[in-house]
């Protein structure tokens, strides 16, 4: 199955927040196709979980970053945490305390001709290439509330593209996708060491 042919499935699995690997939203057309199949959420909150975009998440502290690649898909991803999240990661607290929010920020990877020229001058023959965080893809959130979200491991999920939440079908895929990380309280991301 090609990446293109699996687009429908990619769209359906695109919500796994802070997963470092899921939530692809390959192209806008994929997201559009998903909307064609099902009415979009009626509010600015995620379906099922009722989560809105947390204020100020762009200012949260860095948990880790990663790179997702396959076929033509290339994304750069950062995971940020609110204060409760960062403390829990640093202390190794499991399960994460109620109030934890993990944000996953995803960008399309963009080549940089300008940077590559500098690299070619500075490091001749090394064939180095720099790939930057380019256009925004989506932002996702995992919110811990052990009572409210008891049916999904204590986590609520939300996926936003251009500030709009994805549909219900998309959000139904979140928890199953995170199931393999059950022994880490359903969180794939690990705290990056401090260089």
Site for a copy of itself in 62-101 (CB under 8 A): 62, 64-71, 73, 76-78, 80, 86
Among 19, 74, 48, 75, smallest CA distance to 189 is for 19
Q: How far is the CB of 149 from a copy of itself (least distance, A)?
A: 21
183 binding a copy of itself? (CB under 8 A): no
Which position among 33, 37, 91, 118 is part of the footprint of a copy of itself (CB under 8 A)?
A: 118
d(CA 106, CA 67): 10
- 182 counts as binding a copy of itself under rule CB under 8 A: no
Location of structure tokens 């109620």: 98
- B/e letters for 168-184, b = 16+ CB within 10 Å, e = fewer, are eebbebbbebbeebeee
Largest interatomic CA distance in the chain: 58
Identify the CA nearest to 26 among candidates 50, 49, 56, 2: 2
Question: Per CB under 8 A, does 51 bind a copy of itself?
Answer: no
Positions touching a copy of itself (CB under 8 A) are: 1-3, 5-6, 9-10, 13, 20-22, 24, 58-59, 61-62, 64-71, 73, 76-78, 80, 86, 105-107, 109, 112, 114-119, 122-133, 135-139, 160, 177, 180, 188, 190, 192-195
């Amino acid at each position: 199955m090609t990446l293109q042919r699996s687009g429908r499935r990619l769209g359906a699995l695109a919500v796994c927040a802070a997963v470092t690997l899921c939530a692809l939203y390959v192209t806008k057309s994929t997201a559009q196709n998903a909307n064609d199949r099902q009415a979009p959420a009626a509010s600015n909150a995620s379906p099922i979980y009722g989560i809105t975009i947390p204020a100020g998440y762009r200012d949260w502290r860095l948990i880790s970053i990663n790179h997702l690649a396959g076929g033509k898909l290339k994304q750069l991803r950062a995971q940020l945490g609110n204060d409760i999240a960062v403390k829990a990661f640093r202390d190794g607290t499991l399960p994460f305390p109620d109030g934890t929010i993990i944000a996953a920020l995803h960008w399309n990877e963009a080549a940089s001709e300008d940077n590559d020229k500098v690299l070619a001058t500075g490091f001749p023959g090394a064939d180095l290439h720099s790939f930057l965080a380019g256009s925004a893809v989506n932002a996702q959130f995992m919110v811990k509330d052990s009572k409210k979200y008891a049916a999904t491991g204590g986590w609520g999920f939300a996926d936003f593209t251009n500030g709009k939440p994805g549909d219900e079908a998309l959000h139904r895929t979140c928890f199953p996708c995170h199931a393999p990380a059950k022994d880490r309280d359903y969180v794939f991301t690990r705290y990056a060491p401090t260089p």
